[in-house]
Homo-oligomer: A and B are copies of this chain.
Amino acid sequence: MKRTLALLLALLLLPAFLQADEGMWLFDIAPKQQIKDKYGFELTDDWLEHVQKSTARFGRGGSASFVSPKGLILTNHHVGLRTIHNLSTPENNIYANGFYAKTFEDEIKCPGVEILVTMLAEDVTAQVNAGIAGGQTPPALAPEEAQRIRNANIARLEREYAERTGLHCEVTSLFHGGVYYMYGYKVYTDIRLVWAPENSIGAFGGDPDNYEFPRYCVDAAFFRAYEDDKPAQIEHYLKWNFDGIEDGELLFVSGFPGRTDRAFTREHLEFQRDVFLPWRLQKMYRREVILSAFASKGIENQRRVDTELTAIQNWRKRAIGQSLGLQTPSLWSDSIPSVEKAGANSPEQKIKDANDAARECSLFFMHDLFELGEAFNSRTFQIARTLVRLAYELEKPNDERLREYRDGNLESLRASLLADTPIHEDVEILKLTDSLLMLAENGERFIGRHAERNERDPMATAREAIRGSKVRDVAERRRLMEGGIAAIEASDDPMIKMALEIDGPSRELRKMYEEEVEAPLAAAYAELAQRRFAELGTNVYPDATFTLRLSYGIVKGYTDSNGDEIAPFTHVSGIFDRAEAQQFRAPFDLSPRWIDARERLDMTVPFNFVTTHDTVGGNSGSPVINTRGEVVGTLFDGNIYALSNNFVYSDERSRSVSAHVAVVIETLRKIDEAQRLLDELGAR
C-alpha cells in the first residue's frame, strides 16, 4: 500500500518534474530523452565528451572552460578574485585597475592555483562497499564501522586508480552514499593571469546588486594553463560564439555546482532552519561588520579585506535567502520525507537521530568552532594547524590518515601550504580577536556556566599569537613541514603551540561528529536513495557535490514578486543609467576608462542575461553553451529566487545570471584594445 502510494506520488510529481528545467545531471546519465521530448535536441555522446573535457574546475570553489587550443581559460572575475587580489599590491593594484598581458611573457603566474579537468567518471559503488552488507537488507555493521571499512576501501581505490591512470583520483559519494563515483582529474598547476577587468566593472553593483537582476557585470577573466613553461596544448575547448543568442533558445551549463540539499528530510530541514542557518548568519553578520569597520578606517585597509568582505556578503545574502525560504510555510510540502510518514526504524528516523546527536551537548557548535576552526579565524592558525597535523598524520599508514592528508591530496596540500600569498598581520589580529571573542561570548550558551573559563583576554591572545608567529614566512613553513614531529614539538611559535594545544580535543570532536552524525546520515541517506531508485529508476540526479554536472534550460525573463516584468537581457546603455541613479558612488563607481569610453561603446551590445538553468554556488564561471557547443556566456550568479535552489528548484522565478560573450568582446576591443586575445578567440 505504502509502496503503491509512493509510486503514485512519484508519478504525480513527474510531469512537473519534466516541465521544469530541473536537475544538475551526471554526464553519463544525462536526460537525453527529456531534452529531446521537450526541445527536440539530440544530445550525443560526442557532444557530451567534448563539453566534459572542455570544462574545468577552478581551484576549490569555481568552474571554468578552455576556450582556445593554447590553454586559454574563461572563468568569472569573481572566481579568480582571490588570486587577482593576491597578485595586487598598493603600487600595482590589478584588482582595482584591471590587467591585460600584451604578450605571453607578460602573463602572471598565480601561486597555489589549480585547474582540474574531469577525464574519468566511473561508478565504483560495489568496490567501495566491499565487505559491507548493503542493498535493501539492513546493514550488518554499525554505521561507524561500515564507514571505517568504506574509508579504507576508498583510500585503496584512489591510490590504485591514480597509479593506473596518472590522474588525480578522488572518490565522491553521490546520492548521499547511495552511489560512489571515481573521478579522475587532469591537474594543471601552472596557471597564469591573462586578462582581468577592473573590479568596479567585474563586480559592478557589488553587494547591493548581488543576486539581483537586471544586472551589469563583466564578471569574466582569462587565465592560461601552462605545461613545461609553455602554453598547454588543449584538444577539447569551446569555440567562441559571435552570433548571439535569442530569447527562448536552448542552452546548456556545464560546471561544478557545490552543494544542494534536495534529499533532506523534514527533520533535517528543521535542523538547517533552527540550528545551522541561524548560526551561520550569526557568524556572517559579525564578520561583515568587523571587516567593514576595518575597511572604513583607511584606503589600504579597504584593499586588504575587499575580497574577503565580498565573499562574506555573498554568504550572508545567500543564508538570509535560505533562512527566509525555510521560514515560508509553503516550502514545507507534504512530499518531503519525514519521520511522521515513515515511522520508527526508517532512514528518516535515523536522520532525525543523527541531527539530534549534533544538537546534543552542542556537538554541532563545538565541531564548528574547534575542528572547523571557526573560533580561530585566521590564515595563520590554518597554516599552523595544517603543519601540526601534517607532521602527525604522515607517521600513519595512508589509509588511517585524516582524509585531507592521504597521499592523493598531499601534492596540492603542500603546494597550497607553500604558496606565497600575502597575509596581513593587522587583518589576522582583527579576525582572530573577533573569533576568540565570539568563542568567549558563546561560552555559557554552548558549554554552560560552570565550565572552567579560559582566562585569556581575546585581544591580547590574538596579538601575541599573530605577532609572535613566524609561519607567515614561507621559509619557516617549509622548515616546519620538512622537520616533521620533532620540529613541531620543538617549536616555541605561539600559533603552533595553540594549534597543538587544541588538536587533541578537535580530533575528538571530529571523531564524535563523524561517528554520531556524518556516518549515520550517510547510511540513512543511502537507504533513502536506494528506496528512491527502486521507485524512480535512474531518472534522477544526485545532490550537487562539487563534481561535474550538466544543466539545460532556456533564455527566459520572469515576473518578480512585486509583479514587475523582468526582460531576459540587459545592454551596455543600462550600466550608465544605473551608475547615474547611484551618483557613481561605490560599488557603482564606473572606472574613468569606462566613463571615457561611453561615446565609443555600442549601447546595444547585450550585457547580462537570465536563463532557467538549475544551478548553484560552484557553478560560477561555468560556460553557457549553445547546441553547437559554442560558449555564449559565463554564468556568474542566480537571482534572489534562485537562493532556495539549495532545497528546491522551481522555474517560475528562479534564474541563472550570465555575462554575455558579446560584452566581453566589446570590453576587450574598446576598453583594453586587447588585439592578441581577440585574435586568439577568433574575433572578426
Residues of A at the B interface (CB closer than 8 Å) are 206-208, 270, 273-275, 277-278, 281-282, 284-286, 288-289, 292-293, 296-299, 313, 316-317, 320, 323-324, 327-330, 433, 437, 440-445, 449, 455-460, 581-583, 585-587
Contacts of A456 in B (CB 8 A): 329
- Whether B208 pairs with A444 at a CB distance below 8 angstroms is no
Kindly provide the distance from the CB of A1 to the nearest chain B CB, expressed in whole angstroms: 30
- Whether A275 pairs with B444 at a CB distance below 8 angstroms is yes
Kindly provide the distance from the CB of A63 to the nearest chain B CB, expressed in whole angstroms: 27
23 CB < 8 A contacts A-B: A207-B296, A208-B296, A208-B297, A274-B443, A274-B444, A278-B441, A281-B286, A285-B285, A285-B288, A289-B316, A296-B587, A298-B582, A299-B583, A299-B585, A320-B437, A324-B437, A324-B458, A324-B459, A328-B457, A329-B455, A329-B457, A445-B445, A585-B586
Contacts of A323 in B (CB 8 A): 437, 441
With contact pairs A286-B285, A289-B288 given, residues A274 and B449 touching in the complex (Cβ less than 8 Å): yes
Contacts of A277 in B (CB 8 A): 441
Give me 10 other A-B pairs in contact (C-beta within 8 A), A282-B286, A323-B437 excluded. A270-B449, A274-B441, A282-B282, A293-B313, A299-B581, A324-B459, A327-B458, A328-B459, A329-B457, A445-B445
Which B residue sits closest to A274, measured CB to CB? B444
Contacts of A286 in B (CB 8 A): 281-282, 285
| Complex alpha-carbon distance, A40 and B323, angstroms | 64
Contacts of A329 in B (CB 8 A): 455-457
- Whether B278 pairs with A442 at a CB distance below 8 angstroms is yes
| Complex alpha-carbon distance, A284 and B324, angstroms | 19
- Whether B457 pairs with A293 at a CB distance below 8 angstroms is no
| Protomer copies | 2
Contacts of A293 in B (CB 8 A): 207-208, 313, 317
- Whether B327 pairs with A281 at a CB distance below 8 angstroms is no
Sorted nearest first, the 8 A-B pairs with minimum C-beta distance are A274-B444, A278-B441, A285-B285, A208-B296, A208-B297, A285-B286, A328-B457, A329-B455
Which B residue sits closest to A275, measured CB to CB? B444
- Whether B327 pairs with A440 at a CB distance below 8 angstroms is yes
Kindly provide the distance from the CB of A38 to the nearest chain B CB, expressed in whole angstroms: 33
- Whether A445 pairs with B285 at a CB distance below 8 angstroms is no
Which B residue sits closest to A210, measured CB to CB? B293
Contacts of A292 in B (CB 8 A): 292
| Complex alpha-carbon distance, A441 and B444, angstroms | 19
| Complex alpha-carbon distance, A585 and B586, angstroms | 10
Most buried by B among A208, A458, A583: A208
Most buried by B among A270, A289, A586: A289
Within 8 Å by CB of A445, from B278, B437, B443, lies B278
Contacts of A442 in B (CB 8 A): 278
Contacts of A316 in B (CB 8 A): 289
Kindly provide the distance from the CB of A597 to the nearest chain B CB, expressed in whole angstroms: 23
- Whether A298 pairs with B581 at a CB distance below 8 angstroms is yes
Contacts of A443 in B (CB 8 A): 274
Which B residue sits closest to A331, measured CB to CB? B457
Within 8 Å by CB of A327, from B270, B296, B330, B437, lies B437
| Complex alpha-carbon distance, A285 and B326, angstroms | 22
Contacts of A433 in B (CB 8 A): 324
Kindly provide the distance from the CB of A334 to the nearest chain B CB, expressed in whole angstroms: 14
Which B residue sits closest to A300, measured CB to CB? B581
Kindly provide the distance from the CB of A653 to the nearest chain B CB, expressed in whole angstroms: 14
Contacts of A208 in B (CB 8 A): 293, 296-297
Which B residue sits closest to A295, measured CB to CB? B208
Contacts of A296 in B (CB 8 A): 206-208, 587
Kindly provide the distance from the CB of A545 to the nearest chain B CB, expressed in whole angstroms: 27
| Complex alpha-carbon distance, A182 and B129, angstroms | 80
| Complex alpha-carbon distance, A377 and B458, angstroms | 32
Kindly provide the distance from the CB of A441 to the nearest chain B CB, expressed in whole angstroms: 4
Contacts of A273 in B (CB 8 A): 441
Within 8 Å by CB of A281, from B270, B441, B458, lies B441
Kindly provide the distance from the CB of A561 to the nearest chain B CB, expressed in whole angstroms: 9
Contacts of A444 in B (CB 8 A): 274-275
